Amino acid sequence: MEKTKVLIAYGTRYGATKGTAEEIAKILEEEGLEVKVVNLKEENVKDISQFELVIVGSGMKMDMWTSKAKAFLNKFSGELKKKKVALFVSSGGRALMEYKGELDEIDRITKKYLESKASKYGLNPISMNMFGGIWDYNQMGKISRKALDAEKDNFIPAGFKETEPGVYDSRNWDEIREWAKDLAGII
């Protein structure tokens, strides 16, 4: 029996979306699916016809998807309307908002980052999720660093892990794995 084919196409800024995409792929493969993972910055996807599920992921910065992920959605929007699609974003701010009890803000940005994006391209995703991300002080500009400094005391209590000096990871791996298992179950 031929395995269900899945494409995970993503755009990343600080590497969180890459790691998340790779973990989703690992779980889907464990569930018996055939998965191809594409970093849209490094590889140009020419055809998606062989994939039964297309997962599109993007890192977020300044409330914006990466340009490569947006370009992918634009290029394939017609075909994606006829396929099973799932969307996810990586946002460092989500864990901080949860910690501070800002659930209305999480709902607002989920609508903005995911529901509005799906609607813009006429997609009806089988699943959408916003995961934690990475804030890398070593790569961000002065303005971003200064804005985050006011929140820095909350990073560790909010569940961020400093994976190397100046790099804070807020991803919840159990949540990511559970989402991937759920996806495998509904394909």
Where does the pLDDT of residue 126 fall: very low under 50, low under 70, confident under 90, or very high at 90 and above?
Answer: very high
**What is the per-residue pLDDT for 86?**
98
For the segment 72-98, what is each residue's pLDDT rounded down to a tens digit?
Answer: 999 999 999 999 999 999 998 888 899
For the segment 96-114, what is each residue's pLDDT rounded down to a tens digit?
Answer: 899 899 999 989 988 989 9
**What is the per-residue pLDDT for 15?**
87
Report residue 138: phi and psi, to 5°.
-75, -20
pLDDT surpasses 90 at 54 = yes
How far CA 77 is from CA of 30, 36, 80, 162, in Å, comes to: 29, 19, 5, 37
For the segment 26-37, what is each residue's pLDDT rounded down to a tens digit?
Answer: 999 999 999 999
Beta strands across the sheet bearing 84-90:
34-39, 5-11, 53-59, 84-90, 127-131
Q: Which helix (H) or strand (E) holds 186?
A: helix 173-186
Q: Which CATH number fits domain 5-134+172-186: 3.40.50.410, 3.40.50.360, 1.10.540.10, 3.20.20.80?
A: 3.40.50.360
From CA 130, how far away is CA 70, in angstroms rounded? 16
Whole-structure pTM value: 0.93
Query: Where are the domains positioned within the chain?
Result: 5-134+172-186
How far CA 65 is from CA of 82, 87, 142, 143, 174, in Å, comes to: 23, 11, 21, 19, 24
- Give the pLDDT mean for 148-172: 90
User: What's the mean pLDDT when you consider all of the chain?
Assistant: 93
pLDDT surpasses 90 at 124 = yes
From CA 110, how far away is CA 158, in angstroms rounded? 19
- Give the pLDDT mean for 163-182: 95
**What is the per-residue pLDDT for 92?**
82
**What is the per-residue pLDDT for 121?**
95
Scored b (16 or more CB within 10 A) or e, 154-166 reads ebeebbbeeeeee
**What is the per-residue pLDDT for 22?**
98
pLDDT surpasses 90 at 66 = yes
**What is the per-residue pLDDT for 140?**
85
Which residues, in sequence order, are bridge partners of residue 121?
Answer: none
**What is the per-residue pLDDT for 62?**
74
DSSP category for residue 111: I
DSSP per-residue string spanning 2-58 = PPPEEEEEEE-SSSHHHHHHHHHHHHHHHTT-EEEEEETTT------TT-SEEEEEE
